Amino acid sequence: MKTLSVKLPDGLDARLTAMARRRKTTKSTVVRKALEQSLQDNRTVKRGSALDLVRDLVGCVSGPGDLSVNKTHMKNCGR
C-alpha cells in the first residue's frame, strides 16, 4: 500500500478525528473510504430529467413561450 501525506486545516482535521473516533477506526481508514466513494461516484453516469439535461439551453431562443396557446400560430398546423 502506498503512503500519501495530506495537509488539512485544523477544522477539517478535528472533524476527521471525531468521525474516526465515532467509527472506532483510524483517520486513514475514514479518508480511504471517502476517497474510494468519491472516485467511484465520478465513474457513474449521472441521470436526470429532460429538463436537467437541457437546463443550459432553456431560454436561449426568443419568441413566444408556447405556440400551442396562441391560435394564430396554429392556424395552418396539420395542413
Is residue 78 in a domain? no
If we measure between CA atoms, which residue out of 18, 47, 19 comes closest to residue 33? Answer: 19
Residue-wise pLDDT for 14-47, tens only, equals: 999 999 999 999 999 999 999 998 888 666 666 7
Is residue 55 in a domain? yes
Say if CB 32 and CB 26 are below 8 A apart.
no
72 or 16, higher pLDDT: 16
Alpha carbons 10 and 29: distance in angstroms, whole number = 19
Is residue 77 in a domain? no
Q: What is the pLDDT of residue 61?
A: 76
Q: What is the pLDDT of residue 10?
A: 96
64 or 20, higher pLDDT: 20
Is residue 75 in a domain? no
Q: What is the pLDDT of residue 14?
A: 96
Q: What is the pLDDT of residue 54?
A: 85
Structural domain boundaries, residue 50? 10-69
